[in-house]
Structure 1
Amino acid sequence: MPVNVSKVGFKYLVDSTMFRLGLRSQTQPRVQVNAVTSTENNTLQAPTPPTAIPLMTILRRLPSLFPRSLSESYQDFKQFNSNQEQIQQDLLSTLPAFNTLSENQVSAKLLKTPVDDQGNYINELCIEPKVPNKPLKHLIFVHGYGAGLGFFIKNLEHMPLVDNQWCIHAIDMPGFGFSSRPKFLFQYGKTSATEVNDWFHTRINRWFEKRSLLDKPQSNIVVAHSLGAYIMALYANKYPTHFKKLIMCSPAGVCHSKNIIQDKLNQRIQKHANLNPPWWYSKLWDMNFSPFAIIRNSGPFGSMITSGWSYKRFKRFPLQELSPSSLSKQQFELLHKYTYSIFNRPGSGEYLLPFVLGCGGVPRDALEETIFKNINDPELFKAKCDWVWMYGENDWMNKDGAQNISNNMNNIYGNKKSKVIIVPGAGHHLYFDNYPFFNQEVVNEMENI
């Protein structure tokens, strides 16, 4: 019995880390499906939520699960303790916009904008034309759970400033990335989700104000991923006129209903994974247990543990024919170090998660049941922006809720109010998996504003 408990415990700690970061177990079976999305022979990897890797499989695959060597991990640990900010600077210096000696017509700078009376700030990368065609329009990138602006490296590297009329802002949400990491004072069960959301919204709003992005808000487009998309959807309903378009990239918390494919495969998948967490694990979730605590308490082993996620996430390109350059060895190395550094920084904004999602990823307050429940009632649905919903072809996030919302919105407000776009060959991190396609879709939106 103690062995079984140990297996279950370790299993769900692994599950937590993979789920919260959007990494799916590779142990799920390949199955035949005659609907939705498939390859030429109608075979696909089921786009289901992440499930845990069995303990014995972890032990057998330990060297490949954590591919970074201990010596490399130790060097990363020393660099982190010596100069964290330099790690971010090193990654972003691979962007052409940072090359001041080149003939590039763009420039880049890192900014820290104070957003409260305690001196906490939002970290931002700003890319703008050296000779702008004013007035500038603004494209704002907002990352997802546990991430940072550096995850948009391939978008920032290749996104054009369309006729030198655009300025790109990639921000770290409050308490994430290299933004300030104040102590998170809220606890699930004692604080309302509204109060927590307001904490984020107030600081993001102040950033918009201080960066003068509200002077001409109809020239703003926000691109937000996963948990960031959820936060920005609520923001759009609270501040209805702050941007013209909101691009929701594989957003979290949209609906309770299951994916069509998942419904069809649920019985088979149950044979390979126990999807019901033990009661004590649900308690840990509600108590703001963070998988990043493992890395923060691992000392010189932290970077090696991080490599179990970063090497898989950033080294494999499902559409290499569309992105032949992929990541250079140097850029990949720097992106791993960046990932380790933001995982290892003090816990703060990440503790938002249990207020948004219950254990297992079910939304506490699904968007389809809150701001989108009565979209024909201007007192409840206040957002004025256009909506673009983007999902990866192999995304484990539910697309159906967004499609239903989009259809309803267009029926009421007109066919150009909302649309859903599927990114070929991409998963949850669609902005990275097929960045050429993703970037072009964003450019299309920029050209139509």
Structure 2
Amino acid sequence: MGDRAQTPPGALSTNDINSVSLFQSINDWWTTSSALMKPTENTPAYQTARIKNLLIEYDLYMAILSDDIKINKPGELPKYTQDGIIVGSFKDTELEDGNFIHEFNLENRHGAPSETIVIMHGYMAASGYFVKNFEALVKSKPGSRLHVIDMPGFGNSSRPRFPSELLQNYPDKYNQINQVLGVENWFIDKFEQWRIANSIDKFKLISHSMGAYLSCCYLAKYNFNQVSEFLVVSPMGTESNYTSLLNSKDLQVNHHELGGRPLEELVQQQSENGEVHDNDELTKLWESLGRPKFPENLVLKKLWEWKISPFQLLQLFGPMFSKFLSLWSYQRFRNLKDSNGETNHDLLLKLHYYSYSIFNQYQGSGELAITKLINHEILPKLPLCDRQIAEFFTENKIKTLWLYGEKDWMNFKGGEYIYKKLKELGADAEFKIVENAGHHIYLDNPEEFNKIALNFFDL
């Protein structure tokens, strides 16, 4: 461990194998610690299992990041402390309620501290999926600082049991609205505690999907000129719609647009030239397993009503969970390259292990929030454009870029509507669609994503 990835002689290419073996899948399930499958408790068994997960994360970063990045190994005393280098470290920030937010941070120590960039992932994701963006961002300017966090209840952050009062069903609109606000606050109050604990006063913000929605809510509640530039990546919850609890009829200009298919990414792959498209073989497999027909599907609707997350469902497959997940990860990110610019089976295996390590944990935490923020059609209960978010960004002089992938399943019409409203109000706003990219734009087409981000942040 600790050496940069080298393609071994005779290594299998990405075309040779399309998933882990059945034996490996059973072994992954058998060796998963039960301490990770329940609400986080600071026990020796949990700490041992968590260090194992952090080493999986470490291995992924070591394989993809170049030799210019010096990474301190989790569970050991810092090895790299000197100036004049770029240092990566793993950190847990304890919160007021005893939980913690996990992050991977990078410091460009070639100069005095300058720009600070914070990245927040989306649903069914974690901080490690931004690994192809770390280097470009932190190298952009001497003194740059990068914080890539796992949201509370996701990734390698602590996973407390999600509050039962935030999952109840209320008949009246007043309590429904307050419940959604309570769910939002469960995340954004913790993020603000993290910011204060780390003494971050000014920062540029990149957020994706559910993280982008929550970031908008965070800025509306807590922004006191800390954030002036916000890269909004394929945000959830933008469009006004028939299910809106705010019911602002004059803003429901695109309520006829149904939301995207939330599991569409599971049946997509990348071709040799990097294009994202449907994988017929995976589609057939998914359908044979009972793939919901989106968006109008009774099964998915019931899962939402019963507050069951997609990975809770997949965990029911037990020894086959790793196998099914690898069928997706091997194909979906088949063009991921290591520090030598090579794509090989060993690298895909590292990405798969990372995905399995974060998805096969306790699912009764932050994942359940999605069932209260949106309905099963990916339509928000409190749409951002019903909440005067464009007016807020304009008044607070927050520069925004609304970014979607060409093959993105997320409905771009809501983001486009907010962008046009911002322009009408005279705000500094942009709207772009990235070619050869699905919902995970930053990982599907990292070169273009990095170029856009650096240009937007004037780095």
Shorter-chain TM-score category? Answer: 0.7 to 0.9
Structure 2, unpaired ranges of 5+: 1-15, 34-48, 73-78, 171-175, 242-253, 261-286
CA contact (8 A) 2:138 2:146 kept: no
Of 92, 98, 106, 2:70 maps to: 98
Secondary structure of the equivalent of 2:308? coil
Determine the C-alpha separation between the residues in 2 that align with 1:358 and 1:337: 31
- Pairing 1:331–2:300 present: no
Q: Which amino acid is the alignment partner of residue 368 of structure 1?
A: C
Q: Which amino acid is the alignment partner of residue 393 of structure 1?
A: E
CA contact (8 A) 2:258 2:377 kept: no
Determine the C-alpha separation between the residues in 1 that align with 2:403 and 2:24: 37
Determine the C-alpha separation between the residues in 1 that align with 2:187 and 2:258: 33
The 1:71–1:341 alpha-carbon spacing in structure 2 relative to 1, beyond 3 Å, is same
What is the deviation of 1:66? 8.0
What is the deviation of 1:447? 2.3
| Residue matched to 1:290 | 309
| Residue matched to 1:370 | 387
Determine the C-alpha separation between the residues in 2 that align with 1:351 and 1:342: 15
- Identical counterparts, % of pairs: 29
| Residue matched to 2:236 | 252
The 1:283–1:76 alpha-carbon spacing in structure 2 relative to 1, beyond 3 Å, is closer
What is the deviation of 1:351? 0.7
What is the deviation of 1:163? 2.7
- Pairing 1:69–2:47 present: no
| Residue matched to 1:33 | none
Of 440, 446, 459, 1:429 maps to: 440
The alignment's TM-score, normalised by the length of structure 1, stands at 0.73
What is the deviation of 1:337? 0.5
Q: Deviations over 1:327-377 (max 9, x none)?
A: 4433321110110111101011111111221112222222111233xx44x
Give 1:345-356 correspondences, 5 Å limit: 345-347=361-363, 348-356=365-373
CA contact (8 A) 2:335 2:343 kept: no
Determine the C-alpha separation between the residues in 1 that align with 2:380 and 2:331: 27
CA contact (8 A) 2:152 2:190 kept: yes
The 1:326–1:170 alpha-carbon spacing in structure 2 relative to 1, beyond 3 Å, is farther
Q: Which amino acid is the alignment partner of residue 112 of structure 1?
A: D
| Residue matched to 1:183 | 161
Secondary structure of the equivalent of 1:447? coil
Of 110, 116, 124, 1:138 maps to: 116
| Residue matched to 2:213 | 230
Q: Which amino acid is the alignment partner of residue 447 of structure 2?
A: P
Determine the C-alpha separation between the residues in 1 that align with 2:299 and 2:352: 32
What is the deviation of 1:428? 1.1
The 1:243–1:293 alpha-carbon spacing in structure 2 relative to 1, beyond 3 Å, is same
Of 282, 297, 313, 2:332 maps to: 313
Determine the C-alpha separation between the residues in 2 that align with 1:160 and 1:391: 23
Secondary structure of the equivalent of 1:98? strand
Give 1:123-162 correspondences, 5 Å limit: 123-134=102-113, 136-162=114-140
Secondary structure of the equivalent of 2:57? helix
The alignment's TM-score, normalised by the length of structure 2, stands at 0.71
CA contact (8 A) 2:115 2:144 kept: yes
| Residue matched to 1:239 | 222
The 1:295–1:244 alpha-carbon spacing in structure 2 relative to 1, beyond 3 Å, is same
Secondary structure of the equivalent of 2:106? strand
CA contact (8 A) 2:405 2:437 kept: yes
CA contact (8 A) 1:236 1:385 kept: no
- Pairing 1:357–2:374 present: yes
Secondary structure of the equivalent of 2:452? helix
Aligned length: 360
Determine the C-alpha separation between the residues in 1 that align with 2:236 and 2:340: 30
Determine the C-alpha separation between the residues in 2 that align with 1:300 and 1:434: 32
What is the deviation of 1:260? 11
CA contact (8 A) 1:187 1:287 kept: no
CA contact (8 A) 1:234 1:371 kept: no
Q: Deviations over 1:163-198 (max 9, x none)?
A: 313111110000000000000112052561001101
For the aligned residues, what is the CA RMSD?
3.1
The 1:274–1:109 alpha-carbon spacing in structure 2 relative to 1, beyond 3 Å, is closer
Determine the C-alpha separation between the residues in 2 that align with 1:281 and 1:163: 46
Secondary structure of the equivalent of 1:159? helix
Determine the C-alpha separation between the residues in 1 that align with 2:384 and 2:17: 35
What is the deviation of 1:74? 2.8
Report which stretch shifted further, 243-252 or 151-160: 151-160
Q: Deviations over 1:232-286 (max 9, x none)?
A: 0111111222311111111111114356999xxxxxxxxx995454546423212
- Pairing 1:205–2:183 present: no
| Residue matched to 2:404 | 391
Q: Deviations over 1:413-433 (max 9, x none)?
A: 34xx11112212111111111
Of 136, 140, 144, 1:166 maps to: 144
Determine the C-alpha separation between the residues in 1 that align with 2:258 and 2:374: 20
Q: Which amino acid is the alignment partner of residue 149 of structure 1?
A: S
Secondary structure of the equivalent of 1:413? coil
The 1:133–1:371 alpha-carbon spacing in structure 2 relative to 1, beyond 3 Å, is same
CA contact (8 A) 2:70 2:85 kept: no
Q: Deviations over 1:33-91 (max 9, x none)?
A: xxxxxxxxxxxxxxxxxxxxxxxxxxxxxxx9983211121333355435333222222
Determine the C-alpha separation between the residues in 1 that align with 2:146 and 2:344: 23
What is the deviation of 1:99? 5.2
The 1:193–1:384 alpha-carbon spacing in structure 2 relative to 1, beyond 3 Å, is farther
Determine the C-alpha separation between the residues in 2 that align with 1:446 and 1:126: 19
CA contact (8 A) 1:65 1:308 kept: no
